[in-house]
A and B are shown apart, each in its own frame.
Chain A
Amino acid sequence: MDLMEYQGKQFFASFGIPVSPGGVADTVDEAVAAAEAAGYPVVVKAQVMVGGRGKAGGVKLANNVDELREHAGNILGLDIKGHIVRRLWIENASDIAEEYYASFTLDRSAKKHLGMLSAEGGVEIEQVAVDNPDAIAKIWVDPVDGLTDAQAREWVAAAKLNPQAVEGAVAILKLLYTAYTEGDADLTEINPLILKPTGEVHALDAKVTLDNNAAFRHEWAEFEATQERDSREQAAHEADLQYVGLDGSVGIIANGAGLAMSTLDVVNQVGGSPANFLDVGGGADAEKFVNALTIIDNDPLVKSIFINIFGGITRGEEVANGIIAALGQIDISSPIVIRLDGTNADEGRALLEPHLGDKLRMEPTMLDAARTVVALANA
């Protein structure tokens, strides 16, 4: 789960990482109140889950209440790359002497935590990594040991930060590591991490991705409530289905994430374009198919639906009965093509046989089914 900037800052603050004083505003009046509490001058920042806010006019400096009203009014409702701004973060503007970059994430190859620190922050760090990789000091932390003070100091020295920033940086990096591990984040990133002319070090931005698998041990309901999902994804989320919306015309239902991904591949290979990824998981109860089929059929782009099932422990006749029951409960407008294979596939196919027609077809292999479903979508 990706957090918005203001949520990331609240998350950082809860671990003691210094961030600018500020507040959230959904209206111009709320923005005025937040600015007065934070103290002018303030920065007005659009809260949307997309990069390039500044270039799109979503970040403005306000020196007084008149400027604030103007900027807040302009930014609220602004469309930034398809994301409508509904919330602002108003914070006290910081004087900046230098801008750094700092982050923690998992290095899947090394199977250790990777910290990255650079004196060249405030810009596209990926570009720095390409143009001047030596400018990024890396550290690999063994999760069992954690980040020690000595390690943090060595790391900061390697990044060649301004000597004035060293103590503050060491303190923040240790807190950033704690936020990353104890906070169950997949990513904690500060860009820029700033040195103020007064010598303090401070997080000016916050990019945080939380590990949804760890939600059981945290209070993340508020973060969860602001997740941006399209209506299809929201419906799937409520039905507890693994769903990702795409923009093609072939609806996809498969059991297992690997098979679902593979189904997208095959549909593409025969000239079609998938409308979604949907993993119904194991088991075969009718309700799951009802939910999955309803979500897909409500998608106006969908022209045909591919149900791709490979029976393992769940037997073919159980899956067939689940699908038949689901089709008895709802009316699906797009034609459906089924491929059923694996355990007791013959029994399952025999059960489906009497229900076949223009609305429901069956093919023996994944490739045959993909060709048929794509032909129907393109018809």
Chain B
Amino acid sequence: MAIFVDENTKVIYQGLTGSQGRYYGLLNRDYGTQVVAGTNPKKAGTDVDGIPVYASVADAVAATGATASCIFIPAAGVKSAVMEAAEGGVEFIVCITEGVPAQDEAWFFNKLKRDFPNVRLLGPNCPGIISPGKCNIGITAGHIAKEAEPGATNVGIVSRSGTLTYQALYELKLQGIGVTTCVGIGGDPVPGTSFIDCLQAFEADPETHAIMMIGEIGGSAEEEAAEFIRSSVTKPISAYIAGQTAPAGKKMGHAGAIVSGGKGTAAAKMEALEAAGVKVGANPTEAGELMVEIVKGLSA
């Protein structure tokens, strides 16, 4: 099994006719993802390499039965694109776009929660989600991930950082460890899907046996996740927090990665996770090695 997306997920690409949308939409299709439609009000009736383009998400859902949408729309249009996807009837929205204003994110997070409580948003500013061998939505290179296998010990990954996620997938693959699903939740201030949402889903997924978590300085999402792990997660977890030596008050690329007033420091996050029983590595490689040990222990 996988969480959130699998081989049955049919995906619409909002922005498929743009350069980024086309590039990744076709790569995702090559991977095996069911890329069933694109949207563009000005290009309805045309196609992108055989993928039909509709005027709106609602039209695309009606024609294809799509259940998910992936947004490659420039930041200025993301607020309306997210609402169009929810109103159009998909239940899972992946927003890859970076640079979305925080006010827009706060608004559509709360709007979805209120009016579309069954819709899950992933992102914005995230690499997307991959259930290896089944479905890849977003910008992750599919071949760096190994498929989960029945009977084997499989890992689920949840991460705030793109490149570190790829590194985790790759290191597990080199060790022969399969991944059920790898979720990139993104580094923005108001992520649609949180660590806790993913931990809960991995805990409930019978094929996921262990979880790898990659956090970052700033905010308190990792501390909240630690609380949740303590009370509700029985599966073993390894973790890494990036930014242990980032100077206070400096913004390091990700809008979310800001340390201020002693809160949100890597040390505080690592301590909270360790206290909840998580094996925390000092660097990504060490976190990977800790996961290999966990998997070996579970497989023994």
Contact = CB atoms under 8 A, between A and B. Distances in A.
A166 to B, nearest CB: 28
B252 A260 contact: yes
A181 interface: yes
B141 interface: yes
A256 B163 contact: yes
Contacts of B24: 313
Contact of A269 (B216, B224, B282): B282
Interface string A246-274: 10000000111111111011111100001
A261 B284 contact: no
A310 B109 contact: no
Interface string A187-215: 00000000000000000000000010110
Interface residues of A, number: 50
A76 to B, nearest CB: 27
B242 interface: yes
Given A108-B190, A244-B251, A365-B285, A343 B246 contact: no
A143 interface: yes
B99 interface: yes
Contacts of B224: 109
B255 interface: yes
Nearest to B104: A214
A257 B101 contact: no
Interface stretch (B11-19, B86-94, B164-172, B201-209): B164-172
B152 interface: no
Nearest to A255: B163
Contacts of B64: none
A113 B217 CA distance: 21
A310 B243 CA distance: 18
Contacts of A211: 101-103
A81 interface: no
B189 interface: yes
A369 to B, nearest CB: 11
A313 B190 contact: no
Contact of A258 (B103, B164, B245): B164
Contacts of A213: 75, 99-102, 255
B163 A343 contact: no
A268 B267 CA distance: 14
Contacts of A255: 163
Nearest to A182: B103
B141 A366 contact: no
Contacts of B75: 213, 216
Interface in B139-195: 139-141, 143-144, 159-167, 170, 187, 189-190
A242 interface: yes
Interface string B251-272: 1111111000100001000000
Interface string A86-128: 0000000000000000000010110111000000000000100
A356 B257 CA distance: 35
Given A113-B106, A265-B283, A312 B76 contact: no
A269 B286 CA distance: 12
Contact of B216 (A184, A214, A258, A279): A258
Given A108-B219, A254-B163, A261-B242, A343 B251 contact: no
A132 to B, nearest CB: 17
Nearest to B101: A214
Contacts of B243: 261-262, 264-265
A216 B106 CA distance: 18
Interface string A36-66: 0000000000000000000000000000000
Contacts of B253: 242, 257, 260-261, 277, 279
Contact of B246 (A181, A186, A261, A342): A261
A274 B245 CA distance: 9
A259 B163 contact: yes
Interface in B93-118: 99-103, 106-107, 109-111, 114
B214 interface: yes
Given A213-B100, A262-B242, A265-B243, A256 B144 contact: no
Nearest to A259: B163
A256 B283 contact: no
Most chain B beta carbons < 10 A, residue from A113, A242, A312, A341: A312
A261 B257 contact: yes
B140 to A, nearest CB: 7
A96 to B, nearest CB: 28
B247 interface: yes
B245 A268 contact: yes
Contacts of B106: 106, 111-113, 143
A32 interface: no
B108 to A, nearest CB: 9
Interface of A: 106, 108-109, 111-113, 126, 142-144, 181, 184, 186, 211, 213-214, 216-217, 242, 244, 246, 254-262, 264-269, 274, 277, 279, 282, 310-313, 341-343, 365-367
Given A260-B253, A312-B166, A341-B167, 15 more contacts: A111-B190, A143-B106, A211-B101, A257-B252, A260-B252, A262-B240, A265-B244, A266-B283, A269-B282, A279-B253, A311-B141, A312-B139, A312-B163, A343-B144, A367-B285
3 tightest Cβ-Cβ pairs between the two chains A and B: A258-B161, A256-B163, A257-B253
Interface of B: 24, 27, 75-76, 99-103, 106-107, 109-111, 114, 139-141, 143-144, 159-167, 170, 187, 189-190, 214, 216-217, 219-221, 224, 240, 242-247, 250-257, 261, 266, 282-285
5 contacts: A216-B76, A256-B164, A262-B284, A312-B166, A313-B141
